[in-house]
């Protein structure tokens, strides 16, 4: 090393150290390739083995990370649910493919509903895909007026859905008990339902089976949409399947035409009528008569239904889906704002947002 280089090294020890490291690295890689050619080893494998031999801490760190990963994997497996994790209580309801029970998670003491479905019955009816879709959709929805699906598990014979418990039961039973609802209660339910459906549609989810039996009541009397068995994700926004209960189906579905999320707006109109009157607007003695009444949009209001309610229902029950009142306008309808006791979550978030100055 000449005098100038010595002076540079003395003046810049950091730079010298960096140059030395680069030099040693290059030499190491060259020698690795040389020995690998002779021994027939993979160059990178050889280099890693040498480095680990020089740095035993790196090897122990690597082992530690592997052990941590295995431990996390084991913990995840442990967190998978089984029937042993729950205390099963009284039955809450009975469905076509199984039953729903009140249950409590043993560790947290959390109260929930456990829906038990029999695999043989699901297979015989050919609805396994429908159940998968229900779980996929409902488990990702988060809204105060949509029943939560916390998780699921299965054994040899049954599938179990872990659901939010709605203590006040079905809206259907409440309607049977009271025969009909007053304007305030109806407007409040329609507000909650329209708000929840608006959220679903923003996630490109169509429910397609809105009826009193599929609506539950929470601990504070709030409405919750349940049973997403007929719901679909709508990437194309159109489905032609005939599904759901005839009384609540719109003309485009019973006529076998393509349909989109506006089918839920029709169902909202049917429900509003039923809440106020005590029966659906197109209910008749025969299937054929109901079909004809829906197709022609033929129904009559009893004299006690007020003008504001008539206006809203008539705007929702339109044969042409594009003529139906959009959900955002349902929430702003004068009859709704005058009677509803609830503020939609969308308006709450707008009110909470800081105003621009």
Query: Annotated binding site: which residue ranges?
Result: 96, 115, 164-166, 213-214, 227
Helix (H) or strand (E) holding 112: strand 111-118
Q: Three-class SS of residue 206?
A: strand
Active-site residue set: 209
Do the beta carbons of residue 282 and residue 290 sit within 8 Å?
yes
CA–CA separation, 85 and 90 (whole Å): 17
* Backbone φ/ψ region at 245: left (φ over 0), alpha (ψ -120 to 50), beta: beta
CB count within 10 Å of CB 102 equals 16
Pull the structure tokens for residue 43: 């160059």
Q: Which helix (H) or strand (E) holds 236?
A: none
DSSP state of 90: E
| C-alpha distances in Å from residue 232, one per residue of 72, 199, 235 | 34, 14, 9
CA 225 to chain centre: 12
In degrees rounded to 5, what are phi and psi of residue 102? -70, 135
The secondary structure of 312-344, three-state, reads: HHHHHCCCCHHHCCCHHHHCCCHHHHHHCCCCC
- CB neighbours (10 Å) of residue 242? 12
- Distance CA(19)–CA(191), nearest Å, equals 72
Q: Which helix (H) or strand (E) holds 292?
A: helix 287-296
**Binding site per annotation, positions for ATP:** 96, 115, 164-166, 213-214, 227
Residue with tokens 């704002």: 337
Question: Residue 356: how many CB atoms within 10 A of its CB?
Answer: 4
| β-sheet bridge partners, residue 163 | 113, 149
Separation between Cα atoms, residue 48 and residue 103, nearest integer Å: 54
CA neighbor of 117 nearest in space, from 102, 141, 101, 104? 101
């Amino acid at each position: 090393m000449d005098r100038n280089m010595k002076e540079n090294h003395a003046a810049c020890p950091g730079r010298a150290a960096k140059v030395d490291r680069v030099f040693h690295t290059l030499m190491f890689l060259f020698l690795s390739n040389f020995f690998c050619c002779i021994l027939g080893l993979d160059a990178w494998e050889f280099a890693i083995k040498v480095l680990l031999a020089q740095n035993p801490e790196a090897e122990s760190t690597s082992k530690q990370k592997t052990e941590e990963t295995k431990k996390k994997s084991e913990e995840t497996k442990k967190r998978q649910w089984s029937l042993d994790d729950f205390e099963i209580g009284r039955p809450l309801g009975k469905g076509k493919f199984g039953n729903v029970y009140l249950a409590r998670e043993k560790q947290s003491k959390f109260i929930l509903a456990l829906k038990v479905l029999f695999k043989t019955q699901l297979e015989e009816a050919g609805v396994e895909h429908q159940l998968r879709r229900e779980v996929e959709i409902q488990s990702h929805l988060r809204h105060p007026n949509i029943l939560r699906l916390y998780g699921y598990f299965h054994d040899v014979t049954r599938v179990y859905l872990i659901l939010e418990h709605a203590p006040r039961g079905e809206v259907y039973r409440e309607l049977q008990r009271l025969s009909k609802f007053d304007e305030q209660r109806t407007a409040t339910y329609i507000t909650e339902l329209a708000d929840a459906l608006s959220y679903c549609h923003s996630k490109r989810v169509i429910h397609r089976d809105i009826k009193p039996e599929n609506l539950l009541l929470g601990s504070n009397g709030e409405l919750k949409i349940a049973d997403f068995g007929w719901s679909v994700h709508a990437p194309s926004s159109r489905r032609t399947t005939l599904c759901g209960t005839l009384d609540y189906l719109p003309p485009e579905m019973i006529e076998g035409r393509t349909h989109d999320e506006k089918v839920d707006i029709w169902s909202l109109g049917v429900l509003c009528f039923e809440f106020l009157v005590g029966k659906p607007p197109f209910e008749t003695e025969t299937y054929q008569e109901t079909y004809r009444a829906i197709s022609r949009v033929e129904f009559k209001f009893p004299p006690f239904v007020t003008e504001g309610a008539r206006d809203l229902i008539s705007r929702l029950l339109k044969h042409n889906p594009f003529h139906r009142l959009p959900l955002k306008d349902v929430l702003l309808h004068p009859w709704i704002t005058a009677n509803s006791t609830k503020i939609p979550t969308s308006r709450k978030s707008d009110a909470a947002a800081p105003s621009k100055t």
